[in-house]
């Protein structure tokens, strides 16, 4: 099951006293954040950047808009907040300690992958280095890049309030 990364914000809260924010302006600002998130997203395959979209724009009345920007790729959450030992604490699950995780072969009996920076112990046993063949791997995880939060921070003005990054 994929984890979706969503950024939610309320537009127009600071402008409430001055003028109402039009839907066109809300859409323009949401698109600006989504475009920047696509630029910042790691691009090994491009799947993550392509999955970023403005998923909801809800009129809250009085010039307020709830905006939701989603990254739908299966690895979106891991690249936003990290995984394994690099994962940020999840406030919804206090006390859960991040740890390395096992990767097992699915369609074959062994995993085969290129690992140029392998430790000497692995290099010595690999017959066709940098190609490594192993029955399983204990992966430490990946560091999060915060691409979505950075896009929000860079495009945050006084018109944004209640910005939250949600893992759903």
CB atoms within 10 A of CB 115: 15
Residues 43, 10 within the same domain: yes
pTM over 0.85: no
Residues 77, 152 within the same domain: yes
pLDDT of 135 strictly over 80: yes
DSSP state of 128: B
pLDDT of residue 168: 44
pLDDT of residue 1: 35
Q: Who's near 50: CB < 8 A, 6+ residues apart?
A: 38, 73
Residue 22's CATH number: 3.30.70
- Say how many domains are in the chain: 2
Query: Tens digits of per-residue pLDDT, 64-108?
Result: 777 788 888 988 888 888 888 888 776 666 666 678 889 999 999
Phi, psi of 61 (to 5 degrees): 90, 160
Residues 25, 38 within the same domain: yes
Residues 77, 147 within the same domain: yes
Residues 101, 121 within the same domain: yes
pLDDT band at 157 (very low <50, low <70, confident <90, very high): low
Query: Tens digits of per-residue pLDDT, 12-58?
Result: 544 444 445 677 877 888 898 899 999 999 998 999 999 999 888 88
Residues 50, 132 within the same domain: no
Residues 104, 24 within the same domain: no
Residues 77, 88 within the same domain: no
Residues 38, 94 within the same domain: no
Residues 18, 60 within the same domain: yes
Is residue 67 packed enough to be buried (19+ CB in 10 Å), middle (13-18) or exposed (0-12)?
buried
Region 158-165 average pLDDT: 49
Residue ranges of E strands in the chain = 5-11, 52-61, 64-71, 101-103, 111-114, 131-134, 137-139, 160-167
User: Which residues sit opposite 52 in a β-bridge?
Assistant: 71
* Listed range (55-64, 83-92, 126-135, 157-166) with the worst mean pLDDT: 157-166
d(C-alpha 5, C-alpha 80), whole Å: 8
Region 136-141 average pLDDT: 89
Range of the domain at 92: 84-139
């Amino acid at each position: 099951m994929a984890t979706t990364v969503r950024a939610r914000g309320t537009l127009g809260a600071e402008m409430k006293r001055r003028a109402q924010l039009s839907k066109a302006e809300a859409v323009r600002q949401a698109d600006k954040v989504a475009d920047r998130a696509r630029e910042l997203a790691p691009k090994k395959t491009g799947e993550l950047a392509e999955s970023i979209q403005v998923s909801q724009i809800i009129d809250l009345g009085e010039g307020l808009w709830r905006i939701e920007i989603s990254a739908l790729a299966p690895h979106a959450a891991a690249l936003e907040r990290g995984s394994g030992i690099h994962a940020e604490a999840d406030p919804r699950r206090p006390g859960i300690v991040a740890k390395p995780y096992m990767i097992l072969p699915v369609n074959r009996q062994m995993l085969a992958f290129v690992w140029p920076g392998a430790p000497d112990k692995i290099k010595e046993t690999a017959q066709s280095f940098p190609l490594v063949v192993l029955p399983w791997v204990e992966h430490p995880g990946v560091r999060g890049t915060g691409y979505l939060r950075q896009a929000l921070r860079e495009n945050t003005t006084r018109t944004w309030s209640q910005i939250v990054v949600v893992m759903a």
